[in-house]
Amino acid sequence: MSLKKTAVILNGFVHDFAAGIWLAAMVAIGELHRAHLKEPIVSAVLNGLEHRFFWASVAAMVLIFATGAGRTFTYVDNWYGADAERVRRRTLIIKHVILLVCFGAGYLWAWGKVFH
C-alpha cells in the first residue's frame, strides 16, 4: 500500500476518533456538572475536570476541522458513479451544516456549564 493511501486512511481514523472524543467530552461535562450540583462539597475538583474536558473538546474540534479539510481533498474520484457522487456530496454538505450547528449549540451549552 502506498504512503498516500495509508495517510488517507489514518486521516479518516483520526477524524472519526476526534469526533468521538468531542462527543464524549460533552457528555462528561454534563455528567460532571450534574454531579457537582448534587454534591457541592466536591465542586472545586469537578469544576477543574469540567475545564479539562472543555479544552480537550476544543483540541478535538481542531483535529476534526484539520482532518476534515484533509478528507475534502481525498474524495475527488467518482467512485460510486457521477449520479451517486452528486447525491453523496449534497448529503455531505447537509450533514456538515447540521453538525456545525450541533457543535455551536454544544459549545454554547458547555460554556454555560463550565464557565458559570
User: What pLDDT, on the 0 to 100 scale, is given for residue 15?
Assistant: 94
User: What pLDDT, on the 0 to 100 scale, is given for residue 107?
Assistant: 94
Question: Nearest-CA neighbor of 104 among 61, 70, 48?
Answer: 61
User: What pLDDT, on the 0 to 100 scale, is given for residue 77?
Assistant: 65
pLDDT in tens, the chain (116 residues): 788 888 888 998 999 999 999 999 999 999 999 998 999 899 889 999 999 999 999 999 999 999 988 887 776 666 667 777 788 888 888 988 999 999 999 999 999 999 98
User: What pLDDT, on the 0 to 100 scale, is given for residue 88?
Assistant: 81
Whose cell is 449549540? That residue is 105
> How far, in Å, are 35, 68, 80, 96 from residue 30 at the CA level?
9, 26, 40, 24
